[in-house]
Amino acid sequence: MGKMWHSILVVFGVLSVGNAITINVSQNGGNKTSPLQYGLMFEDINHGGDGGLYAELVRNRAFQGSTVYPANLDGYEPVNGAILALQNLSKPLSPSMPSSLNVAKGSNNNNNHGLIGFANEGWWGIEVKPQKYAGSFCVQGAYEGDFDVSLQSKITQEVFATAKVKSSGAQHKDWIQYKYELLPKKSASNTNNTLTITFDSKGLKDGSLNFNLISLFPPTYNNRPNGLRIDLVEAMAELEGKFLRFPGGSDVEGVQAPYWYKWNETVGDLKDRYSRPSAWTYEESNGIGLIEYMNWCDDMGLEPILAVWDGHYLSNEVISESDLQPYIDDTLNQLEFLMGGPDTPYGSWRASLGYPKPWQINYVEIGNEDNLYGGLETYIAYRFQAYYDAITAKYPHMTVMESLTGMPGPAAAASDYHQYSTPDGFVSQFNYFDQMPVTNRTLNGEVATVYPNNPSNSVAWGSPFPLYPWWIGSVAEAVFLLGEERNSPKIIGASYAPMFRNINNWQWSPTLIAFDADSSHTSRSTSWHVIKLLSTNKITQNLPTTWSGGDIGPLYWVAGRNDNTGSNIFKAAVYNSTSDVPVTVNFAGCNAKIANLTILSSDDPNASNYPGGPEVVKTEIQSVTANAQGAFEFSLPNLSVAVLKT
């Protein structure tokens, strides 16, 4: 009946105002919501880690490689005709950094001072601002003289900052680490800059020097050494997310044996960290290692959702049941490293790294998307259960999650539902969680519209996705997220994925945030705006509603209150309406006379935010006065997302 009425409206198209909906929000009877609700999902994809959130400015700082992505000299160029070569010395800087950069005098090196060296172009640029940069580099070889370190323009060679570092004498065998600081007096007009290190070839004893672990950091978030890029953290922090799922995603699985995620190789001094071929076409440095993740959670007040490796690679390789135990033990060691007292073997290692106080882990996810790449059969047969049993035996308080949904597993296990869909696909799943039994709990660890509407309403995997979230898709995500909010407490929380994309080198679009080396380009997507509105207007107790005036859709909503602030809250999205939708909301037992209404909309349903582009999301804030009956009346346009709050 409702459907027929809608189609009549479409056919004649005469009404400019749709069905008025009157919604009564009960005072009692709802459910407490999950404390997490909205959060963040992170893995190193799209150079969102190395070359993105990880503030290191030098690309390929330690020449680390693997059989998948061999060591190379990407990012480097010779200065003054120097000859650059990758070499494995008999005495490398460390076992995890076997290759280094040899810099030798070239035959055409005839400049007066004999200065030679190399330049690193950063992650497709280096931002230069008047602020303190802290750097270091390691050298092996015999040299008497200075090193000149500078930040300079690649286009004009203008030098923005320079430091002289004296060599500590004629060393032969040992690697020596030098530290330096750079303090530009002004900003460079663009990011086409390099870090350049030169030295006087006349002071060489053996004709060349070896370099490794060449590093430069701008100021970082919370001034953490080895820390995170401030503007990208700020873009995340504004969302007020409550959890962080890490370190993947596909990246926790690994491309092929033996490259599983070895947490123990991501902690400690940088020179002891191993690199790893990521799932995303490049070698990752593990500069953001387990401890950096935990500091990140602490600094932003995020609940860690720790994904652990579970015996399955993206190459379809699976560890057999009889060989699995060492890997399960490794996960228990990891949990002890994080949570154990300083008197436990792994807790004492953590303490020795400067972190005596144990962290608390409440959520562990076993693997990632084990329904894919030949993982499902063994996941069901033995892998999940083995990890589940081992973890819950030692840590009964933990929520242990399956990396998929709908699997027959232990009743207490939670699941992780990933959804990449079309706008219509998300809207049609508004009711998805209504069907889910109350005993099931799920995370929605990856949510994103990746494909335009089409007749079969399906995602064409393998064909290019849009570069940026676009408005109609972001509204559709809002509809889906409202469906989740209505179903708290079945839902642990939701996060968009992927979070970051460096637009100069990437594997997957669209993403929540796009960026390049220039922090003024960092772009908050249309989906970012939607999530921010929903996340920062937190409902702690959802409330049942009754309504008259039409079916759910084109208006979708959830109602509740925030018991910390006393606000009544109504969140809504409009999708597929031919006209504005008049809404009346009546909060039972609410005496407030005024409510704030925030409406997000856009002039163009296909519009995207992108680096350097205009803001396409319009934010309108209205003050709505209660009518004589105490209800709030307003109207919402097609393709809008709104929050009414007393």
Ligand X SMILES: *[C@@H]1O[C@H](CO)[C@@H](O)[C@H](O)[C@H]1NC(C)=O
Q: Find the binding residues for ligand X in span 49-78 (CB under 6 A).
A: 71
CB 105 to ligand X: min, Å: 21
Selected from 111, 325, 520, 548, the binder of ligand X by CB under 6 A is: 548
Dihedral sign for Cα atoms in the order 134, 140, 146, 149: negative
Stretch that binds ligand X, among 128-136, 338-346, 370-378, 432-440 (CB under 6 A): 432-440
Compute the distance between CA of residue 47 and CA of residue 507 in angstroms, rounded to an integer. 9
Per CB under 6 A, does 406 bind ligand X?
A: yes
DSSP string, 494-531: EEES--EEETTS-S----SEEE-S-GGG-EE-HHHHHH
Stretch that binds ligand X, among 237-245, 342-350, 519-527, 571-579 (CB under 6 A): 571-579
- # residues near ligand X by CB under 6 A: 49
Selected from 262, 271, 521, 618, the binder of ligand X by CB under 6 A is: 262
Selected from 20, 24, 230, 507, the binder of ligand X by CB under 6 A is: 24
Contacts of 291 (CB under 8 A, 6+ apart): 267, 350, 353, 355
Burial class (CB in 10 A: 0-12, 13-18, 19+), 382: middle
DSSP state of 482: H
Per CB under 6 A, does 276 bind ligand X?
A: no
Q: Hey, which bits of 35-98 come out as E strands?
A: 37-38, 40-41, 76-79, 83-88
Residue 595 has, within 13 A of its CA and on its CB side, a CA count of: 29
Selected from 362, 428, 507, 635, the binder of ligand X by CB under 6 A is: 428
Selected from 338, 639, 642, 643, the binder of ligand X by CB under 6 A is: 639
Compute the distance between CA of residue 155 and CA of residue 190 in angstroms, rounded to an integer. 10
Stretch that binds ligand X, among 139-147, 210-218, 229-237, 574-582 (CB under 6 A): 574-582
Per CB under 6 A, does 638 bind ligand X?
A: yes
What is the enclosing helix (H) or strand (E) of 423? helix 423-427
Selected from 34, 99, 215, 602, the binder of ligand X by CB under 6 A is: 99
Lookup result for tokens 């959702």: 305
Selected from 167, 542, 601, 609, the binder of ligand X by CB under 6 A is: 542
Per CB under 6 A, does 225 bind ligand X?
A: no
Whichever of 14 and 411 has its CB closer to ligand X, that residue is 411
Per CB under 6 A, does 436 bind ligand X?
A: yes
Query: What is the contact mask toward ligand X in residues 460 to 479, using x (rule: CB under 6 A)?
Result: ------------x-------
Stretch that binds ligand X, among 39-47, 208-216, 421-429, 611-619 (CB under 6 A): 421-429
CB 252 to ligand X: min, Å: 15
Whichever of 495 and 542 has its CB closer to ligand X, that residue is 542
What is the enclosing helix (H) or strand (E) of 479? helix 471-486
Phi-psi region of 254 (alpha: psi -120 to 50; beta: other; left: phi over 0): left
Based on its alpha-carbon atoms, the radius of gyration of the chain, rounded to whole angstroms, reads 28
Per CB under 6 A, does 575 bind ligand X?
A: yes
Selected from 20, 31, 171, 299, the binder of ligand X by CB under 6 A is: 31
CB 586 to ligand X: min, Å: 6
CA distances from 465 to 15, 78, 193, 448, 469 (A): 36, 38, 32, 11, 10
Lookup result for tokens 């700020």: 234
Contacts of 402 (CB under 8 A, 6+ apart): 365, 366, 370, 379, 384, 409, 413, 414, 415, 416
Whichever of 190 and 222 has its CB closer to ligand X, that residue is 190
Selected from 408, 462, 464, 614, the binder of ligand X by CB under 6 A is: 408
Compute the distance between CA of residue 478 and CA of residue 41 in angstroms, rounded to an integer. 17
Per CB under 6 A, does 628 bind ligand X?
A: no
Q: Find the binding residues for ligand X in span 166-185 (CB under 6 A).
A: none
Burial class (CB in 10 A: 0-12, 13-18, 19+), 326: exposed
Q: Quick check: 420 and 448 in contact, CB under 8 A? A: yes
CB 401 to ligand X: min, Å: 12
DSSP state of 389: H
Q: Find the binding residues for ligand X in span 286-315 (CB under 6 A).
A: none
Stretch that binds ligand X, among 75-83, 213-221, 435-443, 608-616 (CB under 6 A): 435-443
Selected from 78, 114, 358, 452, the binder of ligand X by CB under 6 A is: 452
Q: Find the binding residues for ligand X in span 319-358 (CB under 6 A).
A: 330
DSSP state of 452: -
Q: What SS3 state is found at 282?
A: coil
Stretch that binds ligand X, among 101-109, 298-306, 359-367, 541-549 (CB under 6 A): 541-549
Query: What is the contact mask toward ligand X in residues 477 to 496, using x (rule: CB under 6 A)?
Result: ---------x----------
Per CB under 6 A, does 98 bind ligand X?
A: yes
Per CB under 6 A, does 605 bind ligand X?
A: yes
Compute the distance between CA of residue 524 and CA of residue 527 in angstroms, rounded to an integer. 8
Selected from 47, 59, 154, 538, the binder of ligand X by CB under 6 A is: 154
CB 486 to ligand X: min, Å: 5
The runs of H, that is alpha helices, within 19-178 are none
Per CB under 6 A, does 155 bind ligand X?
A: yes
CB 260 to ligand X: min, Å: 9
Per CB under 6 A, does 550 bind ligand X?
A: no
CA 46 to chain centroid: 10
Selected from 144, 424, 551, 580, the binder of ligand X by CB under 6 A is: 424
Q: What are phi and psi of 329, to 5 degrees?
A: -60, -40
CB 502 to ligand X: min, Å: 13
Q: Quick check: 646 and 590 in contact, CB under 8 A? A: yes
Which residues of the shown chain bind ligand X in the complex (CB under 6 A)?
24, 30-31, 71, 88, 98-99, 154-155, 192, 262, 264-265, 330, 405-406, 408-409, 411, 415, 424, 427-428, 436-438, 440, 452, 472, 486, 542-544, 546-548, 567, 575-578, 586, 596, 605-606, 638-639, 645-646
